[in-house]
Amino acid sequence: MSIISREGIFQVLTAMNPWWATGIMPAELSKQFRRFVYYDSIKWLESEGLRRFVLLTGLRRVGKTTILYQMMDALLKRGVAPQKIVFISMDHPMLKLSGINEILECYHENMYAEQDAYYFFDEIQYAADWDLWFKVIYDRQPNTRAVATGSASPALLKGSRESGVGRWTDIAVPTLSFYEYCQLIEAGQDIALPEDFHPMDFVKLARHEQHSIIHRVSAVQNYFTRYLQFGGFPELAIDQPDPMVAHQIIRDDVVDRVLKRDLPALYNIRNTTELEKIFLYLCNVSSSIVSIEAIAKELTEVSRPTVENYIRYLESASLIYVSQPVGMAGRKVLKSRPKIYVADAAIRNAVLLDSALLTNAEAMGVVVETAVYKHVLMYYYKRVTHVGYFRGGSKNKEIDIVVDFPDSQKSLIEVKYREQAPIANDDAICDLASEAKAAFIITKRGDDYGVHNAPNGQLLARIPAYAFLYMLGHAEQNERK
């Protein structure tokens, strides 16, 4: 008797697609809250001009599957026939052992015979030769649309580079932004900021206007520390479990699955202990400039090439961000010494079991800089040359975050998350502000805001961290509108 049969496959598909019978998407699957990434994804799906398949990549538990259900819900509400929409979770044991062609043939034979269907694949990395099949579908079925998700983003990006040029678009799904977190838990619902307001506008406002903006946004200030602890993951944001339970969920479902299953399977890593040690090391130095030689020396049994490879694997798996140095006006910068950020502060906290975070000023500074970097990187995703840092000049001083725009302009950000956050006149951000289109000092206290006047006449905006991140999210939402 065959383990896998067409009847068995169709039975699984029928269970996965209840709208075939009811015509509607179950509310518990689609949920009401829409992430920013949803709007990017649906735009590509419904585009009547340029046709692209969509690949959503990112960590587990960030809401990728929910975005698929929400896109299908939008199609159903637009009047698309339920039978034209098929959801296929490649993580299911029977479907995992079947080929994409066999699954789709079963679907078309039993449910929808035409080729103008909408395919939604979840955890596509489990499908053998998925990229080749996507290429075939794209080329031979011109009326078909497809969206796929994958938690093992290296597998997706590898296939995308080889077969996906001109056929599909990669969209990164990060953990929740602070603005999204507040929207999800319905905090600050009465905050009314000008629709076209952007943090870059803050320095241009009169003092009373700055006060008005900060006063309005202060409604979400008390939610910021909770967000830093667990808020990046939608389920944890809503359920708010005990901190130890939340840490366990993140370690088991997010970190360990990547370190012990996804990456070893993709890159044939036999000694996962080395990979775990390197990631633990990076959690300890998050937001710091790292030396590959220093890591190899610290972990005596790990070679430099192994460290370099594993950092690249961790980055492509969305567990870390790698910030490279950016040159400023010909000044020499550190070569080949990246700054490493763990992808979400909650991951760092869970791995290090940092229960004293709220009373450790240094650790809080690291966590806030990590959050600021993630928000800036995701806001400017695919719109700038890159988001890095500067360290150099005669005094070898540093600017935490530098946004490098395609026209060579820069935005500078210095994170000073402490009770007293003075900026010296010879700090790099003051010295180089004249070369930037905007410069920000991110502070801690809610009353520490306004304008810092640099000696060269440049104006630097001082904005509390929670307010800066919320403003950035507000700007992103209205740009999508």
Does residue 237 register a pLDDT over 60? yes
- Same domain flag for 218 and 161: no
How many Cβ atoms are within 10 Å of 398's Cβ, its own excluded?
Answer: 18
Task: Find the mean pLDDT for residues 175-184.
Answer: 96
Token couple for 125: 């990395």
pLDDT bracket for residue 407 (50, 70, 90):
confident
Asked whether residue 164 carries a pLDDT value surpassing 60, the answer given is no
Q: What is the mean pLDDT of residues 108-129?
A: 93
Our count of domains for the chain comes to 2
Among residues 158, 173, 188, which one ends one of the domains? 173
d(CA 238, CA 233): 9
Q: Is residue 287 part of a domain?
A: yes
Looking at the structure, do residues 55 and 122 belong to the same domain, yes or no? yes
User: By the 8 A CB rule, do 439 and 416 touch?
Assistant: no
pLDDT, one tens digit per residue, over 317-368 is 899 999 999 988 666 666 668 999 999 989 998 999 876 677 788 889 999 9
Same domain for 152 and 256, yes or no, is no
36 lies in the same domain as 70: yes
For residue 460, the one-letter residue type is L
Q: Is 308 exposed, middle or buried (0-12, 13-18, 19+ CB in 10 A)?
A: middle
Asked whether residue 260 is domain-assigned, the answer is yes
Q: Among 81-85, 101-105, 167-171, 293-297, whose mean pLDDT is lowest?
A: 167-171
Does a structural domain hold residue 1?
Answer: no
Laid out side by side, the sheet with 320-323 consists of: 288-289, 339-342, 320-323
Cβ neighbours, 10 Å, residue 339:
24
Question: How many whole angstroms separate alpha carbon 16 and alpha carbon 154?
Answer: 26
Instruction: Output 357 or 443, whichever has higher pLDDT.
Output: 443
> Looking at the structure, do residues 199 and 154 belong to the same domain, yes or no?
no
Q: Count CA within 13 A, CB hemisphere, residue 275.
A: 26
SS3 70: helix
Average pLDDT score over residue span 439-454: 95
Mean pLDDT: which of 20-24, 230-234, 354-358 is highest? 20-24
Q: How confident is the model at residue 421 (pLDDT cuts 50, 70, 90)?
A: confident
Q: Which amino acid is at 423?
A: I
* 189 and 167 together in one domain: no
Please state which of the ranges 111-125, 146-160, 182-196, 365-379 shows the lowest mean pLDDT: 146-160
Question: CA–CA distance from 52 to each of 147, 151, 177, 224 (Å)?
Answer: 9, 20, 26, 37
CA gap 462, 421 in Å, rounded:
10
Residue 387 belongs to what H/E stretch?
strand 386-392
Which pTM value belongs to this model?
0.92
| pLDDT of amino acid 165 | 60
Same domain, 86 and 215: no
Which is it for strands 320-323 and 386-392: parallel, antiparallel or unpaired?
A: unpaired
Rounded CA-CA distance 457/30 in Å is 52
CATH number, domain containing residue 87: 3.40.50.300
- Give Cα 311 distance to the centre of its chain: 17
Check residue 478 and give its pLDDT.
86
Q: Given 173, 208, 233, which residue is the final one in a domain? A: 173
Q: What is the pLDDT of residue 139?
A: 92
Q: Which residue has the higher pLDDT, 319 or 456?
A: 319
With respect to residue 247, please indicate whether it lies within any of the assigned structural domains: yes
CA dihedral defined by 413, 414, 420, 422, rounded to 10 degrees? -100
Confidence class for position 480, pLDDT limits 50, 70, 90: confident
pLDDT recorded at residue 231: 81
Among the three residues 134, 156, 173, which one is the final residue of a domain in this structure?
Answer: 173
Question: What pLDDT is stored for residue 330 in this prediction?
Answer: 65
Asked if residue 427 and residue 374 are part of one domain, the reply reads: yes
Residue 156 and residue 55 in contact, taking contact as beta carbons nearer than 8 Å: yes
pLDDT (average), residues 462-470 = 97
Q: Are residues 205 and 349 in the same domain?
A: yes
Pair of tokens at residue 226: 């909770």
18 shares a domain with 65: yes
Looking at the fold, whether 443 and 342 belong to one and the same domain comes out as: yes
Residues whose CB falls within 8 Å of the CB of residue 129, separated by 6 or more in sequence, listed in order: 100
Whether residue 388 is contained in a domain is answered as: yes
| pLDDT tens digits for range 244-289 | 899 999 999 999 989 998 888 878 888 899 999 999 999 999 999 9
* 457 and 356 share one domain: yes
Q: How much is the pLDDT for 384?
A: 75
Supply φ then ψ for residue 214, to 5 degrees: -65, -40
DSSP letter string, 351-365: HHT-TTGGG-HHHHH
Ramachandran angles phi, psi of 55, nearest 5°: -115, 115
Cβ-contact 345, 371 below 8 angstroms: yes
Look at residue 68 and tell me if it is in a domain: yes
Domain boundaries, position 79: 6-173
**pLDDT, mean of residues 455-476:** 94
Mean pLDDT of the residues in the chain:
90
Rounded CA gap, 152 and 467, in Å? 33
Token output for 132: 């080749």
Token code pair at residue 57: 């990549």
Does residue 199 lie in a domain region? yes
Phi, psi angle pair for 209, to nearest 5°:
-70, -40
Residue closest to 341 by CA, chosen among 371, 305, 365, 302: 371
pLDDT score recorded for residue 333:
65
* pLDDT, position 160: 53
Return the pLDDT at 335: 65
Within a domain: residue 330?
yes
Assign 123 to helix, strand or coil.
Answer: coil
The owner of tokens 């905090």 is 187
Place 1 in a pLDDT band, splitting at 50, 70 and 90.
Answer: very low
Q: Mean pLDDT throughout 133-160?
A: 79
Paired tokens of 469: 């991140």
